[in-house]
Amino acid sequence: MEESTANNEYDLIVIGAGGAGSTAATLAAGMGKRVALIERDKLGGTCLNYGCDPTKTLLHTAHMLYHAQHAFALGLCIPKAEADWAAVQTHVRQVQKTIRGGTLKQARAGIAAQGVDLFMGEAMFTSPQEIRVNGEILRGKRFVIATGTVAFIPEIEGLSEIGYITNEQAVSLPELPKRLVVIGGGPIGLEFAQMFSRFGVQVVVLEREKQPLPREDRELAMALCSQLTAEGIRMEFGAEMRCGEINKRGKHIHIHGAKGKEEELVADQVLVAVGRRPALDALNLEAAGIRYTEKGITTNATMRTNVPHIWAAGDITSPYQFSHVAAAQGELVAHNVFARKPQAFDDRIIPWVTFTDPELARVGLSEADLKEAKIKYRVGRAYFNKLDRAIANDQTFGSVKLLADADGKILGGHILGANAGDLIAPVVYAIHFGLTVKMIAEAMLPYPTMAEAVRGAAAQF
Ligand SMILES: Cc1cc2nc3c(=O)[nH]c(=O)nc-3n(C[C@H](O)[C@H](O)[C@H](O)COP(=O)(O)OP(=O)(O)OC[C@H]3O[C@@H](n4cnc5c(N)ncnc54)[C@H](O)[C@@H]3O)c2cc1C
């Protein structure tokens, strides 16, 4: 085991206590290394505090409310299905506390108990070997930068003056707005749009592109948006906010819509969800000579920067900005920083989900990818409206789409439907272990289950 002598000297200094940084720090401490972890805000990073966990809790609560209000088809009459927003917020905080493993104070003690020295403050490089935090200098033999991303705010005339929120405020609003404009129709924008709409907010989504969710299967993404529209969310594609002003009627948003249509919307709140930018500003990377671009810190496949003892992990360096990727990179980098032969991050099979209702899940390649790469493929599908369990559950919207090569090897899977995020798991395993559609179709599944749709799509080949 390496020994660090001075009190402020560490085998590893990790900046950022989100999924990537916390994983890297605790694993390295578990290997007997002297580790410092620096965090300027809250332990758990974006996912626990402003991202995955509060949004999924709110979406689930909104889902329960919506389905209680629409339960007549099942023979149920639930006369007073309504939300107590303050109680909903208390529930969200309770969920965060449970996932965190206690209060923020208890979580800090938990990190310390794992042998990590935690510094609550903003980290800034003063040299390639030194970092300043709260006026104190820490020296590191190795560093991992895991500072994640923050919401990107576009330059729109009047936007700052009228005021806006991002995901950070949107997960803990003291009260619900009556009218909300969401700028950005990506996964984050759509999840918030449906959540707020189901809590009774009038929602308009403005998306600059002509089509929604560019990384998703075209057909399934369009089907999802038609469902959101049917639910009462106004979706404007090819539309952008030109400028804004405020008066006592509310925030006036001037939009330039599709086919040159100009319109003015009035809203109580504007939610900006047009993407993320790397959290680099405070780090003073120049002092350490670390290369970066507007997309984040530049690393090689093993997560190493151009400065050999400095590494990066998670959203700050990854084009796949998901918690499971951040945690996997945190784990890999904890190994790589001390390894003689660092390993490359394997980004071949990364699944992801848009957690609307219905969910839209994806793994592997899309039809667009395959066409672009000129790879021949076949499509197998199963529709939930033909599946007994989906009919019994009144969850018939959507389908499973599998893409396979001439030998039946699965190249991609796309699912739109209830719990698609769970249903994609067998497709992830299938791609991971090189299973063919024939193998999937041959395996018996319990009846009646939603998973039979995956088998049904495989049987189509
Ligand atoms: C609204 C929303 C919903 C999401 N939902 C999902 C989902 O359902 N599933 C999913 O997989 N992913 C989801 N994500 C993405 C997920 O949250 C991120 O991929 C994940 O949090 C990345 O982890 P990270 O450790 O790289 O960065 P982060 O979690 O962002 O952690 C970085 C930490 O570094 C700290 N920091 C930054 N600069 C400094 C500095 N100079 N000094 C000290 N500390 C610093 C920050 O305060 C932060 O705590 C969502 C994101 C958002 C915004």
pLDDT of 300-346, one tens digit each?
Answer: 999 999 999 999 999 999 899 999 999 999 999 999 999 999 999 99
Report the largest interatomic distance among the alpha carbons of the chain, rounded to a whole angstrom.
Answer: 71
> In percent, how much of the chain has pLDDT > 70?
99
The residue whose C-alpha atom lies closest to atom 12 belonging to ligand 1 is 322
Sign of the alpha-carbon dihedral angle for 73, 359, 210, 232:
positive
Shortest-distance Cα residue to atom 19 of ligand 1: 322
The pLDDT of 195-218, averaged and rounded, is 95
Q: For residue range 15-50, what is the model confidence (pLDDT) as tens digits?
A: 999 999 999 999 999 999 999 999 999 999 999 999
Helix (H) or strand (E) holding 47: helix 45-50
Q: How would DSSP label each residue in 276-315?
A: EEE--GGG-GGGGT--EETTEE---TTSB-SSTTEEE-GG
Average pLDDT, integer, range 254-260:
90
> Which token pair is 243?
């400028």
pLDDT tens, residue by residue, 43-91: 999 999 999 999 999 999 999 999 999 999 999 999 999 999 999 999 9
Residue nearest to atom 9 of ligand 1 (CA): 52
Tens of pLDDT, residue by residue over 82-122, are 999 999 999 999 999 999 999 999 999 999 999 999 999 99
Q: If you measure from the C-alpha of residue 297 to the centroid of ligand 1, how many angstroms do you get, rounded to a whole number?
A: 15
Report how far residue 159's alpha carbon sits from residue 170's, in angstroms, rounded to the nearest whole number.
Answer: 17
State how far the Cα of 327 lies from the Cα of 345, in Å rounded to an integer: 12
Measure the CA–CA gap between 94 and 54, rounded to whole angstroms: 10
| Mean of all residue pLDDT scores within the chain | 96
For atom 1 of ligand 1, the residue with the nearest CA is 51
Spacing, Cα 51 to ligand 1 middle (Å): 7
- Ligand 1, atom 37, lies closest to the CA of 147
Tokens linked to 258: 């599709």
Which atom of ligand 1 is found nearest the CA of 21?
A: 25
By the 8 A CB rule, do 329 and 363 touch?
no
Half-sphere exposure of 308 (CA within 13 A, CB side): 4
Q: What is the pLDDT of residue 212?
A: 87
Q: From the CB of residue 349, how many other CB atoms can be counted at a distance below 10 Å?
A: 12
Q: How many A from CA of 152 to the centre of ligand 1?
A: 13
Question: How many angstroms does the Cα of residue 461 sit away from the middle of ligand 1?
Answer: 40
Of 62, 373, 399, which Cα lies nearest the Cα of 222? 399
Number of other CB atoms surrounding residue 266 within 10 Å: 12
CA of 322 to the centre of ligand 1 (A): 8
Confidence category of residue 219, pLDDT binned at 50, 70, 90: very high
In testing the pocket of ligand 1, which one of 47, 166, 285 has its CB within 8 Å of the most ligand atoms?
47
Ligand 1 atom showing the smallest separation from residue 122 Cα: 42
Between CA 69 and CA 80 the distance in angstroms is: 8
Instruction: Give me the pLDDT at residue 1, please.
Output: 41
Ligand 1 centre distance from Cα of residue 279 (Å): 10
Enumerate residues lining ligand 1, CB below 6 A: 15-21, 38-41, 45-47, 51-52, 55-56, 122-123, 146-149, 167, 188, 279, 282-283, 314-316, 321-324, 326, 355
Asked whether 25 and 14 are in contact (CB, 8 A), the reply is yes
Atom of ligand 1 nearest to the CA of 355: 8
User: Which of 26, 52, 194 to probe ligand 1 with, by most ligand atoms within 8 A of CB?
Assistant: 52
Ligand 1: which of 147, 165, 196, 356 to mutate, most ligand atoms within 8 Å of CB? 147
Q: Under a CB-based contact definition with an 8 Å cutoff, are residues 367 and 377 in contact?
A: yes
What's the pLDDT band for 4 if we cut at 50, 70, 90?
Answer: very low
Q: Which of 287, 338, 293 is nearest to 29 (CA)?
A: 338
Kindly report the protein residue whose alpha carbon is nearest to atom 5 of ligand 1.
52
Confidence of residue 260 (pLDDT cuts 50, 70, 90): confident
Return the residue whose CA atom lies nearest to atom 3 of ligand 1.
Answer: 51
Cα 458 to ligand 1 centre (Å) = 36
Atom of ligand 1 nearest to the CA of 323: 11
Nearest atom in ligand 1 to the alpha carbon of residue 314 is 26
Q: Which atom belonging to ligand 1 lies closest to the Cα atom of 133?
A: 42
How confident is the model at residue 323, as a pLDDT?
98
